[in-house]
Amino acid sequence: MMHTVNARHTTPRVWLVGAFAVVAAVISGVCIGAVHIAPLDALAVIVNHIPGFHVSTSASASDSAIIWDLRFPRIVLALLVGAMLSTSGCSYQGTFRNPLADPYLLGVSAGAGLGATTCIVVTNSHSVHWLLPLAAFTGAMIAVGLTYTLGRSALVGRSATSLVLAGVAVASMLTAIQTLVQQRNSDKIREVYGWILGRLSTSGWSDVQLVAPYIVICLVVLFQYRRVLDVFAVGDEEALTMGLPVARARAAIIIAASLGTAAAVSVTGLIGFVGIIVPHSLRLIMGNSYRRLLPQTAMYGGVFLVCADIVARTALAPQEIPIGVVTALIGAPFFLFVLGSSRQGDLT
Amino acid sequence: MTTLTLSHLDVEIASKKIVDDVSFSVSTGEWLCIIGPNGAGKSTLLRAIAGIIPSTGDLLIDGTHLRTMAPRDRACWIAYVAQEPVMPSGMRVFDYIMLGRTAHLRLLASESPKDFEVTQFVIDELALQEFAHRDVATLSGGERQRVAIARALAQASPIVLLDEPTTALDIGYQQDVLELIDRLRHEQKIAVISTMHDLTVSGLYPDSLMMLSHGSIAVQGSAQEVLTVERILKTYGAHVRIVEDSRGPIVVPERKPGL
């Protein structure tokens, strides 16, 4: 019986592998690029920025600047955004019992898209840089608010399905408006597309500082709900009779997942597939228990986005491919590979 | 001893009365079986008691109103097994049964060693050791029913509602499940309210029967009182013969006359 008990908990080995993947992704991300940097230099420069640590390094001042001011913040942003998007997707899939749910389920993407497009169109190029995240974030939160209000007031009551349907309706409407705005301002279409296809900025630490608090808080809240997500698996009715305050728990999960996604989207634009591919790949490998899945999803979501970013930066260097295109292009075949290579017996 | 009391309970769905003025009480150690034709409101009544759908009238547990309770407190009193419990694929039997401990945990808490102990106890009690590791989605009908009952037992509530626990099962599994319920209600001191289709079987295990017709109680009492030729003809429109047996009346279907 000990085996059963242990199987509920993530073994140290799984954590170690995950941690190794994160470190490997970070070092690769820092070292790979137009200027080649040795892995040890990269590590040394990063460690030297931790208060109380000092190691000698052969890295030049310009290398240090590239590592600390250009590449590392971008990688941290990728880790945060990847973790947030995949954890949101995983949480939505759990609470809605829908394997196709993604972080943009309740209209976050359409709302953020409309906010960003409006901002790009109405503001001058000088202020757009700092207004854009705010506009996208506001749009996303308004969209989710609208979805939630409509979904709850619908005839069907408070069911999960009515929420999802309301999300579809809200997203269609906002996308239509966004398309209209974009079509009437075709001179800005390139900028709008640049945002929609997603990109990780290179503006140093400011974006990280902007979104880190939101993402960290939302991730922590969602992790608290990992056992609750397992209870949701038996459906709303049975979960209620087992003592789960279904409506309240779902509301908390939706708020945390949407807020975090909105924060991520506000600085990176729309990066698709992460929220579906990462949780499902892990599900195929380690089973369906959310308490084990959720933390791993966050880790590998970050790793996945860092890797996608490396490809985006280097595949057509010196040009950069929008990262949203990369996640879809490498994510979908990767997912199919995992799907094909998993067998029934692997659910442990 | 715990007593669940319903008085003048009504359930209305889309302004149609599905359950109409139902009153009864059940105490721990007793088994009440609700019978009645399709659409009589059996499942609706159970779902109303479980708090899944709204109802009016008094719903009391030892004098306390159930409706004012939070889901968690309510779940500590009443456990519910659906007609076809959802078996989430990829979840192990052990984990599924432990979900029953939700009512005893704060919303964001994790299970304590006690919850593991209770779960293990229930597994041993129901002899589920051999498939504790299996994926619940791969279980057969009879295994699913036992596992769902195990989950309700892990919830450790004095009242257990079972919606058609045997309908999907063949005669052997039916007997296994019914014997199990009967043993548990005596040993664990729980009150069982179940719905059932098979009239003969419903007279065999439960203490008392309640026949619903169009949402209201047609007759309530012992199997001998409820399972009569006239009553079954009136409520079900079925022609039967009753064979008296020391263990309870046996309901034998007849050919309809004049055909």
Confidence at A182, pLDDT banded by 50, 70, 90 = confident
Does A320 have pLDDT greater than 70? yes
Q: Give the model's pLDDT for residue B45.
A: 96
Are B72 and A227 an interchain contact pair (Cβ–Cβ within 8 Å)? no
Q: What integer best gives the mean pLDDT of chain B? A: 92
A123 lies in some domain: no
Does B20 have pLDDT greater than 70? yes
Q: Give the model's pLDDT for residue A157.
A: 53
Tokens of A193: 């597309």
Q: What is the mean pLDDT of residues B162-189?
A: 88
User: What percentage of chain A reaches a pLDDT higher than 70?
Assistant: 93
Confidence at A2, pLDDT banded by 50, 70, 90 = very low
Confidence at A154, pLDDT banded by 50, 70, 90 = low
- State whether residue A56 sits within 8 Å of chain B by CB: no
A142 lies in some domain: no
Are A231 and B82 an interchain contact pair (Cβ–Cβ within 8 Å)? no
Confidence at B138, pLDDT banded by 50, 70, 90 = very high
Beta strands B78-81 and B159-162 are parallel
A65 lies in some domain: yes
Q: What is the mean pLDDT of residues A83-107?
A: 89
Q: Give the model's pLDDT for residue A199.
A: 80
Total domains in the fold of chain A: 1
Q: Which helix (H) or strand (E) holds B193?
A: strand B191-195
DSSP one-letter string for A68-85: IIIIHHHHHHHHHHHHHH
ipTM of the predicted structure? 0.92
For the domain bounded by B3-221, which CATH number is listed? 3.40.50.300
Are A241 and B79 an interchain contact pair (Cβ–Cβ within 8 Å)? yes
- Which chain B residue lies closest to A246 (C-alpha atoms)? B71
User: What percentage of chain B reaches a pLDDT higher than 90?
Assistant: 76
Q: Give the model's pLDDT for residue A8.
A: 55
Question: Nearest-CA distance from B229 to chain A in Å?
Answer: 37
In 3D space, the residue among B13, B23, B99, B93 whose CA is nearest the CA of residue B60 turns out to be B23
For A241, how many CA atoms within 13 A lie in the half-sphere containing its CB? Answer: 28
Q: What integer best gives the mean pLDDT of chain A? A: 85
A188 lies in some domain: no
Q: Give the model's pLDDT for residue A343.
A: 53
Report the alpha-carbon angle A275-A277-A282, nearest 5: 105
Confidence at A348, pLDDT banded by 50, 70, 90 = very low
pLDDT in tens, A224-258: 999 999 999 999 999 999 999 998 999 899 989 98
Contacts of B132 in chain A (CB under 8 A): 1, 4
Question: Nearest-CA distance from A328 to chain B in Å?
Answer: 27
- Global confidence as pTM: 0.88
A94 lies in some domain: yes
DSSP one-letter string for B207-246: SEEEEEETTEEEEEE-HHHH--HHHHHHHH---EEEE--T
- State whether residue A249 sits within 8 Å of chain B by CB: yes
Q: What is the mean pLDDT of residues B105-113?
A: 87
From the candidates B91, B118, B144, B163, which should be mutated to test the interface with A, based on the most A CB atoms within 10 A? B91
Are B102 and A244 an interchain contact pair (Cβ–Cβ within 8 Å)? yes
Domain limits, chain B: 3-221
Among A148-152, A155-159, B86-90, where is mean pLDDT lowest? A155-159
Are A224 and B108 an interchain contact pair (Cβ–Cβ within 8 Å)? yes
A155 lies in some domain: no
What phi and psi values does residue B177 have, to the nearest 5 degrees?
A: -65, -40
Q: How far apart are CA A24 and CA A18, in angstroms?
A: 10
Q: What is the mean pLDDT of residues A323-333?
A: 86
Q: How many CB pairs (< 8 A) connect A and B?
A: 96
For residue B252, CA distances in Å to B75, B232, B242 come to: 39, 11, 6
DSSP one-letter string for B157-192: -SEEEESSTTTTS-HHHHHHHHHHHHHHHHHTT-EE
Q: What is the mean pLDDT of residues A195-212?
A: 82
Residue A279's CATH number: 1.10.3470.10
For residue B189, CA distances in Å to A13, A330, B156, B159, B184 come to: 44, 59, 10, 9, 7
Q: Which residues of B196-215 are buried (b: 16+ CB within 10 A; e: fewer)?
A: beebbbbbbbbebbbbbbeb
| Domain range enclosing A331 | 2-110+199-346
Q: What is the mean pLDDT of residues B10-38?
A: 94
